[in-house]
Every structure is written in structure tokens, then in C-alpha cells.
Chains A and B, each alone.
Chain A
């Protein structure tokens, strides 16, 4: 069955540390890829998306992600995190055959000031 896996469930970093959150999906066809963020008590917000072309995509708030097709991965990165980045992050995939949208289980990021 198609699925999305996020490797880290809970990440704790100090401010100014670099961030990389892993995301892998299991599906052989064309995908659209997304990272969402949910700040405490708030709704889901789209961080960035990949459809095609340059595999390195830039999103809001200094986040970027790299699509590596051979590894079925779409890892999220930020060079220097801030306390305000404390949130839950979700990787998601839309499948080409059905249009189904599948989420990973999420990664909780805690940034210590």
C-alpha cells in the first residue's frame, strides 16, 4: 500500500541549529509533494510544494526541500532554526493515479531558546 514515512517523531534543537526532517514515500508513479506546518493551536499551513522541475524547492520562512526521485525522498531543511519554528511538520504526497492525498505521521519540532 502507498504510504509516507517521516523518520523523526520528535526533534529538539537549540536556536540557530540546522534542521533536516526526513520524508520517504512508497509509490512508483508521479507524485506531487508537500510539507505542511501546524503551529500550536493553529491550522495546517502549506510550507512548500514540489510538482516538477528543479528538485530543490524553496518555501516560506526560510524552509527548503529537496526531491530525490531515486530515493523516493523529500527532506525538509532549514539552515538556522528559530524558537518560533516550534511546531508540528507534516510531509504529504498526492498520487498520480488516483489523486489521493496521503500524510506522514508528523514530526514535532521543539526549538529551545
Chain B
């Protein structure tokens, strides 16, 4: 079975801290994603990576950066955490593109609270 693992289930950080959210997948997937989920807003794509060191901005990249130095690991970085970044963060991975009949697999989520 595909496994996508997020390093923390719950995090509490202070305003202004640099925060790292880690995600690891074990299926050699090319694509990895970071979303945030907020009530009434669904899952919004923050960043997308389609290969090592390759990334693409999603709909809401402001205040975030990402790192993908190895294929299995995709990190989301909050350079200076703010209270409006309090949210549930979901990582996902998938292989290839839609022409390959691909689907995504999700981590369990990290609930981040910035105080």
C-alpha cells in the first residue's frame, strides 16, 4: 500500500517562527502536493512538485515556500508564521499525469495552530 506520512499530527507555533512541515511518500511518486483545508474553502493548493527540485505555485503560495531535494520528501516551510496560517495542512502524492490513470494518496494531515 502507498504510504504518505506527515511528520506531525498537531503543531502549535508562535507568531514569527519558522515552521517546517514534512511529508514523505514511499511509492516513488513523481508528484507531490501541499494543500491547506479551511471550513467553507475546501482544499486549496499551496505548492505542487512534479520532480526533484521542481515546483510550481498553487493558488495560495504567499507566505509559504517548499523544498524537494529528494524524490520521496516534500517540505512545506512557513518562513514567518502568522495567525492566519492556522489551518489543517494536507500532503498528497501521485504518479505521472492524467494520461496514466493516476490517483492521489493523502497523508493524515497536520493541524497547525499559530498563536
Q: A residues bordering B, Cβ < 8 Å? A: 6, 9, 29-32, 34, 43-44, 46, 49, 51-52, 90, 92, 94-106
Contact = CB atoms under 8 A, between A and B. Distances in A.
Given A32-B103, A94-B102, A99 B92 contact: no
Interface of B: 30-31, 33, 35, 40-45, 48, 50, 56, 90, 92, 94, 96-99, 101-104, 106, 108-109
Contacts, number: 75
A9 B108 contact: no
Contacts of A90: 42-43
A99 B94 contact: yes
A49 B94 CA distance: 14
B96 to A, nearest CB: 6
14 contacts: A34-B104, A43-B108, A49-B103, A90-B43, A92-B104, A94-B94, A94-B103, A94-B104, A96-B98, A97-B97, A99-B31, A103-B44, A103-B45, A106-B41
